[in-house]
Amino acid sequence: MLRFDQYYDAHSKEIFQFIYFLVGQKETAEDLTQDTFVKALKNNKAFRGDAQVKTWLVTIARNTVYDYYRRKRLTSFSRC
């Protein structure tokens, strides 16, 4: 298993680009990229090795973006 800093160095740029493609805002993509790697660090024992680390990180990133949009939508509804 790679150390956290190793897979951050190896994959952070690609994860950021993936998230940026989904959200279209640099600052939001930076925040969500950081959130993705924090979640990966907290849940690294859940990585079974069935897939590549990059695939696992992309899945976490995708779910992080989905969570972001859910929170954003809930905030919009509560303002009405």
CATH of the domain at 50: 1.10.1740.10
Output the average pLDDT for the chain. 87
Report helix angle 53-79 to 4-23, nearest 10: 50
Domain count within the chain: 1
Rounded CA gap, 61 and 64, in Å?
A: 5
Predicted structure pTM score: 0.83
Radius of gyration of the chain (CA): 14
The answer to which of 36-40, 45-49, 60-64, 67-71 has the lowest mean pLDDT is 45-49
Stronger pLDDT, 26 or 46, i.e. the higher one = 26
pLDDT (average), residues 57-79 = 84
Confidence label for 76 from pLDDT (cuts 50, 70 and 90): low
pLDDT (average), residues 44-69 = 88
What residue numbers bound the domain in which 47 lies?
Answer: 4-79
pLDDT (average), residues 35-44 = 90
